[in-house]
Amino acid sequence: MDFALAFLVGGALCLAAQLVLDLTRVTPAHVMVLFVSLGAVASGAGLYEPLVKLGGAGAIVPLPAFGHALVDGIVREVGRTGPLGLLTGGFDAVALGLTVAVVSALLAAAIFNPRG
């Protein structure tokens, strides 16, 4: 059941992104920026957490979750340390993802060669 919901929620987000890509003249990078921003806005409106509860990885794996994690981290840190959390909570929440991405990119560049 949770697999079906992850598939449906994640698939629906990707379908929406593909429609934006195909029905406008923007690049995938533009769509990624749009959806990560929408994720942050939806999180602030209290809409993204229910989507995570419903779809599990279907809401956690797509990029809007990155925006959600930033807002979620900010809200938590503001609660703990006050307004300074506006500037620290976001990166705190996404530190693991960004660190893994940067380090693995560096390693991949060192190990692998591009093909084609």
Query: Could you say which residues in the range 77-106 bind another protein, by CB under 8 A?
Result: 78-80, 82-83, 85-87, 89-91, 93, 96-98, 100-102, 104-106
Q: Which of 20, 3, 9 has the alpha carbon at shortest distance from 50?
A: 9
Q: How far is the CB of 90 from another protein (least distance, A)?
A: 5
Q: Any contact of residue 54 with another protein (CB under 8 A)? A: no
Q: How far is the CB of 93 from another protein (least distance, A)?
A: 8
How many angstroms separate the CA atoms of 7 and 38, rounded?
20
Q: Any contact of residue 24 with another protein (CB under 8 A)? A: no
The mark string for 1-20 relative to another protein (x by CB under 8 A, - otherwise) is: -xx--xxxxxxxxxx-xxxx
How many angstroms separate the CA atoms of 48 and 37, rounded?
12
Phi-psi region of 91 (alpha: psi -120 to 50; beta: other; left: phi over 0): alpha
Q: Any contact of residue 29 with another protein (CB under 8 A)? A: yes
Rg of the chain over all Cα atoms, to the nearest angstrom: 16
